[in-house]
Chains A and B, each alone.
Chain A
Amino acid sequence: MKGFAWTSAPDLAAALRAGSATVAATMAAAPGPAAANAVILKAGGIDLLDLMKEGLLAPQRIVNLRGIPELGRIAEEPGGALRIGAMVTLAQLAGDPLIRARYGALAQAAGGSASPQIRHVATLGGNLLQRPRCWYFRSIHHDCARKGGRQCFAFMGENQYHAIFGQYGCAIVHPSTAATALVAFDASVELVGARGARRTVALENFLLGPEVDLQRENALAPGEILTAVLLPAPKPGVRSFHLRQGELDSFDWPIADVAVVLELGRDGACRRAGVVLGAAAPVPYRARGAESALAGQRIAEGTARSAAIAALAGATPLAKNAYKVPVFEALVRRAILGAAGQA
């Protein structure tokens, strides 16, 4: 790791004054003065240290967000919506009684990520903003398209853990497991700009696929700080489930993960379904086919099975990751049944 200057921001205003650059823009500008002079925000620091140790990022200054109390709170808003501060850790998310009761899939997704040691430090904001885990992207030896190079090494190379949908010039899967669940719950993110202006964006729109921008995974603007994630108040009859499958059960990135949110009526029929696939595409992949297959149906083995097949329709696997298709089919079916309490 290269040296840097260090600032602990005591409050949000101080952090905003620091004039931070995004990691994506900084990496795209490297090598060059813009990259060397960059001021970068640090939350838990897990992804930041990883990038810096690999020699992929060497900011001039790091601004620590850890000392800003207002970013670390989970609070219920009037009307029942939930506001989760960006600095809330994955461990807190997994253990929070309210989240477990109302947004079970989110607690499951956060609790299944990484290792206990990482979850105790990694924050929700940092988790959503972490850079992709593609091994070519993480290697200084491969100047790939996402880093401003000319080619995607994954298309012709080792792509067993890459995307099966939406690989427009880049085949990453979005690294955040929590995002899978958050998109299924229609969460949004709250951002504060350098001049203090607040905006709220649906997470689904905040995360960007390569067809929109090949070099960044989200719409974070320079100087902006992600302050909170907002979850809408749960509708009556909502049940949710998150399932992940790694090659290993202990500490492994998922090869596939699925979040299902079902809004069940009194009659047991599904009014509305959210079905989102993680580790499937450059952004959390909303399986609209599955969602409409479930709408108006009673949940049973058969409906779940056809929804699972619909979810995978249109998949475009690469040479080494077609195995993900049957894995996802099984997971979608099981997660639907899990959400309906029939697993």
Chain B
Amino acid sequence: MVGAGIIMTDGITRRQFLKGTGAAMSGVAALEAGLGAVAGAAQAAAVDAAAGTSPVEIVLDVNGARRRVAVEPQATLAEVLRGPLNLTGTKIGCDRGACSACTVWIDRVPVASCMMLAIDVGDRPVVTIEGLARGEQLHPVQAAFIAHDAIQCGFCTPGLVMSCAALLETNPAPSLDDVKAATSGHLCRCGTYPHAFAAVLDAAKSAKG
């Protein structure tokens, strides 16, 4: 904390500072997140040239934008999202595929970003919690989560919302059992499940009506 003798006066917030350290530890280096259309094949070739732990430049399609970033081969998608791409909505709970806090969409399907290497994403589109709203307009599942108080500490929430939103994409009128099945990989220690279930069912109803 600040009291520990670190005084940041040059516009770096504590959060950015902590983030920076985290990213450095996870083996991710930030490059300017500029644009640049690198063709899939060229990207693969560049990636293949990588040896050892040196960072490789890749382009990720995240929330509809092409983001150029340098990653070490062992960096997971979750680490790259949270570190250099500054998309900290995605959370890392277990880092082993066992809690689903890190759920994002790849090709519109929910996956655990902690168990996927960033280098392995290729040109498949990634959607994170930051990409769910349309501008200021929340996704119906997000709005319903707020209305139903389906959030306590919020650590599981982004992942849970991504799974629930994905469910409604393929099943616009889910049953309670469908919602339970779609969220069965998630761990919410705070116990928001009943409110989350109600929120999803409500979001489905309001989307229809």
Contacts and interface: CB of A to CB of B under 8 A. Distances in A.
B163 interface: yes
Interface in B79-121: 95-98, 100, 103, 109-112, 115-117, 119-120
Contacts of B38: none
Contacts of B117: 6, 45, 49
Interface centre among B72, B96, B120 (most CB of A within 10 A): B120
B184 A115 contact: yes
Interface in B159-176: 163
B27 interface: yes
Interface string A167-179: 0000000000000
Interface stretch (B10-18, B42-50, B127-135, B147-155): B42-50
A28 interface: no
A64 B118 CA distance: 13
Contacts of B97: 46, 49-50, 114-115, 117-118
A5 B51 CA distance: 4
A323 interface: no
Contact of A6 (B73, B112, B181): B73
A120 B73 CA distance: 22
B52 interface: yes
A5 B52 contact: yes
Contacts of B27: 1, 3
A8 interface: yes
Contacts of B53: 2-4
B180 interface: yes
A6 B50 CA distance: 6
A56 interface: no
B125 interface: no
Interface string B18-54: 0000000001000000000000000010011011110
B112 A117 contact: yes
Given A3-B52, A3-B74, A115-B97, A120 B111 contact: yes
Contacts of B112: 115, 117-118, 121
Interface centre among A2, A249, A251 (most CB of B within 10 A): A251
Nearest to B107: A120
Interface residues of A, number: 31
B48 A8 contact: yes
Given A49-B117, A115-B100, A8 B51 contact: no
B140 interface: no
Contacts of B76: 49
Interface string A102-122: 000000000000111110110
Given A46-B115, A50-B96, A117-B111, A3 B72 contact: yes
B198 interface: no
A53 B52 contact: no
Contact of A118 (B51, B95, B185, B186): B185
Interface string A1-19: 1111111101000000000
B47 A3 contact: no
A223 B84 CA distance: 36
Given A6-B47, A121-B115, A250 B74 contact: no
Contacts of B95: 53
Interface of B: 27, 44, 47-48, 50-53, 56, 72-74, 76, 95-98, 100, 103, 109-112, 115-117, 119-120, 122, 163, 180-182, 184-186
12 contacts: A1-B27, A4-B52, A53-B95, A53-B96, A66-B120, A67-B122, A117-B112, A117-B163, A118-B185, A121-B111, A121-B116, A250-B185
